[in-house]
């Protein structure tokens, strides 16, 4: 059985990133285990300012950056929600899983925990982050010409509701020595309210891993949560071809951006209803 690591840079991401992701997958694969592999892959992507996770995460309407991340293996979960001013949320999520009795830490509690275990203060904003923020403010103020239809509800409800613009969440699934793991990290979406939580850190929605395989989702978080997308796919594993399962699930998101990477004991697959950059590393035994 091959050991395999599959990573993505988000539903809606340009496939010109594929060679970069192939390199990242190769560099991050660890024979020490599936968990080590997915965490390292996501850490590398968090450090790439072109992706909306870790460094380069987008700002919320109030100008702050709040990030989400999660890791999962069969029977173990670690998640951070709305964490701020840390370089690698995925490493904090792993620490929640391995060093606390909890599954999830949020907000200032997550930040306090991160500081206590040695994560220094870090500003993840970049010039790209600032440009996206300025664009969001123009849209919300109504000063941007030709406002996309997806922002209409923001203007109607004074910025309380709306569909996110940025979808470049990063994620990874792996099978190593017959064991599975999943990891995901995101800076959220823009524009969005402070405190908004998407699917990424929610087990069963943004990710799921168990004895049968692992799944990671990307796209419009609110719709992914409503459908418990990753658990739905995991529950069907082994009943038919993995490719058929994920295609049927994603095709059900009519008009709503969504994508998935998934792996089982005998196959792996990726599928999105939009462009999605993917990298795969296969280590034969």
Q: How far apart are CA 267 and CA 272, in angstroms?
A: 17
Q: Token match 């490493």: residue?
A: 91
Q: How far apart are CA 137 and CA 157, in angstroms?
A: 15
Catalytic residue among 73, 169, 186, 218: 169
Residue 169 annotated in active site: yes
Number of other residues whose CB lies within 10 A of the CB of residue 226: 12
Number of other residues whose CB lies within 10 A of the CB of residue 128: 15
Tokens of 31: 């024979």
Answer whether 271's CB lies under 8 Å from 247's CB: yes
Buried b (16+ CB within 10 A) or exposed e, 243-281: eebbeebbeebeebbbbbbbbbeeebbbbbbeebbbbbb
Name the residues annotated as catalytic.
Answer: 169
């Amino acid at each position: 059985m091959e050991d395999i690591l599959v990573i993505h840079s988000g539903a809606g991401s340009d496939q010109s990133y594929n060679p970069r992701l192939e390199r990242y997958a190769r560099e991050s694969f660890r024979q020490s285990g599936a968990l080590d592999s997915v965490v390292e892959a996501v850490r590398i992507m968090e450090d790439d300012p072109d992706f909306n996770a870790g460094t380069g995460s987008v700002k919320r309407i109030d100008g702050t950056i709040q990030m989400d991340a999660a890791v999962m293996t069969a029977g173990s979960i670690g998640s951070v929600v709305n964490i701020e001013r840390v370089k690698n949320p995925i490493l904090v999520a792993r620490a929640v899983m391995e060093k606390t009795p909890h599954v999830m830490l949020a907000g200032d509690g997550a930040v306090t925990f991160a500081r206590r275990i040695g994560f220094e203060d870090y500003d993840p904003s970049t010039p790209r982050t600032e440009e996206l923020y300025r664009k969001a403010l123009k849209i919300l103020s109504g000063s941007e010409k030709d406002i996309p239809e997806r922002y209409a509800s923001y203007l109607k409800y004074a910025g309380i509701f709306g569909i996110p613009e940025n979808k470049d969440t990063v994620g990874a699934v792996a099978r190593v020595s017959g064991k599975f793991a999943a990891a995901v990290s995101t800076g959220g979406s823009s524009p969005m309210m402070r405190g908004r939580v998407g699917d990424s850190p929610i087990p069963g929605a943004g990710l799921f891993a168990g004895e049968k395989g692992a799944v990671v989702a990307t796209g419009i978080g609110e719709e992914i949560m409503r459908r418990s997308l990753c658990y739905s796919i995991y529950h069907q594993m082994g009943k038919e071809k993995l490719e058929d399962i994920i295609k049927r699930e994603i095709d059900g998101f009519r008009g709503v951006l969504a994508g998935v990477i998934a792996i089982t004991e005998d196959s792996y697959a990726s599928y999105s209803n939009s462009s999605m950059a993917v990298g795969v590393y296969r280590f034969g035994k």
